[in-house]
Structure 1
Amino acid sequence: MEDRPTSPGGIVGILLAAGRGTRFGSNKLCHPLGDGTPVAVRSAENLRDALGEVLGVLRPEDSVLRGHFDDAGVPYVLCPDAGQGMAATLACGIRATPRASGWIIALGDMPYIRPGTIAAVAAAIAEGALLAAPFVDGQRGHPVGFAAPLRDELLALAGDEGARRVIVAHKEQLHRIDCDDPGILADIDVPDDVRP
């Protein structure tokens, strides 16, 4: 796996897009939004708009999503271990960006997060926060930012709960970003979740 360049601030957006989305009935990450953009591509574009640097992590067999990412100019790595859960997908993205000073971890099925919210999370990491997350109405949302000192803990995760264990272990150090962005809580699980 080649070493990926990092953004000027050294913070990279990692888009986890290797899930199967079985409740949706088809590949939800490829489902078109109102303007025709696939769900995961919009999620990646929001990261790119905020950070400049984004890397998708995809299942090797998902040739349709790879095609959408290629068409949109979104770089990606293939995660052969994606079937082991979200932690394996996250670790794949972290390993592909070893020079990063931090990561903004976003989910492929959350296309409604505003780039400004993502930028605020990245700014908190750039300013020295160990981890940062947006909150709306008291609820923590996505994406979550992690500084480079958490790299080994992120790589040690297993299963399908993502980085929750790292967040809980460092909850006292979590930099809270209050916002009015409902997109931080809005994921797409079923077709009715797609906005017109």
Structure 2
Amino acid sequence: MIGAVILGAGESRRMGTQKLLLEIKGRPMLEWVIDSFKKVVDEIVVVLGHRPELLIPLLRRLDVKWTVNVNYLDGMVTSVKEGLKMLKDFDAVFVALGDQPLVEVDFLKKAIEVWKNGAKVVCPVVKGKKGHPVLFDRSLFDEILGLGKDQFLRDVIHRHKEDLRTLESGEWAITDIDTPEGLEAFKWKF
């Protein structure tokens, strides 16, 4: 079984409001992300942190599981670990960003195929720059769950670079939306 941990714990400080609820073509940003993953994974867990009550009604409507990371201020890896705990019996798990609304379903399907062929980590890449979502094999879950406060997912990826496969993807893989200006620019491209 394949799962997805979607990170949505941040404060959206640069946006000035809960950015995952901002609408793009009439739907909240987070809904776009969830819809892409619903087409290819068996289970989704959205990790909440700052003001979770704002996002819970949307997640209930979409029938998606969530967990709250009370330590979200300690960094993104704490949210990854919180979500992964709920999916630790899965065979592989995507780690995705909640503010990346253009995740391509074709990429997700290709990543799963590459993983089935032996990769332990599958990552999108654009002009040499790695992006999200990243697919991790179950054999790496304990290592991820054991990461300390000053460690990052990229540390796990670097330690297993011989088992890393990258897939060329579109700009969407390195695009997240952090500011009102960024949202407006994005809407013109969408």
TM-score by length of 2: 0.89
Q: What is the CA distance between 1:25 and its match in structure 2?
A: 1.3
Is the counterpart of residue 146 in structure 1 residue 133 in structure 2?
Answer: no
Contact in 2 for aligned 1:79/1:89 (Cα 8 Å): yes
Is the counterpart of residue 31 in structure 1 residue 25 in structure 2?
Answer: no
For residue 29 of structure 1, give the secondary structure of its aligned residue in structure 2.
Answer: helix
For residue 50 of structure 1, give the secondary structure of its aligned residue in structure 2.
Answer: coil
Moved more, 163-172 or 184-193: 163-172
For residue 148 of structure 2, give the secondary structure of its aligned residue in structure 1.
Answer: coil
Instruction: Flag structure 1 segments of 5+ consecutive residues without an equivalent.
Output: 1-9
- What residue identity is the alignment partner of 1:157? L
| Corresponding residue of 2:153 | 163
Equivalent of residue 184 in structure 1, options 164, 173, 177 = 173
Q: What is the CA distance between 1:160 and its match in structure 2?
A: 7.5
Q: What is the CA distance between 1:91 and its match in structure 2?
A: 0.6
Contact in 2 for aligned 1:11/1:102 (Cα 8 Å): yes
Q: How many pairs align?
A: 185
Contact in 1 for aligned 2:10/2:50 (Cα 8 Å): no
- What residue identity is the alignment partner of 1:175? R
Counterpart CA distance in 2 for 1:152 and 1:98 is 9
Residues 27-79 of structure 1 show CA distances to partners (whole Å, capped at 9, x for unaligned) of 1111111x221112211221112324221111273211111111222221222
Counterpart CA distance in 2 for 1:68 and 1:79 is 18
Moved more, 70-79 or 153-162: 153-162
CA shift in 2, pair 1:158/1:149, >3 Å: same
CA shift in 2, pair 1:159/1:45, >3 Å: farther
| Corresponding residue of 1:92 | 82
TM-score by length of 1: 0.86
| Corresponding residue of 1:20 | 11
Instruction: Flag structure 2 segments of 5+ consecutive residues without an equivalent.
Output: none
Residues 67-123 of structure 1 show CA distances to partners (whole Å, capped at 9, x for unaligned) of 111122222122222222211111111111121011111011111121111222222
Identity of aligned residues (%): 27
For residue 157 of structure 1, give the secondary structure of its aligned residue in structure 2.
Answer: coil
Instruction: Report the aligned-residue RMSD.
Output: 1.8
Counterpart CA distance in 2 for 1:55 and 1:14 is 5
CA shift in 2, pair 1:100/1:71, >3 Å: same
| Corresponding residue of 1:122 | 112
Contact in 1 for aligned 2:46/2:83 (Cα 8 Å): yes
Counterpart CA distance in 2 for 1:141 and 1:123 is 18
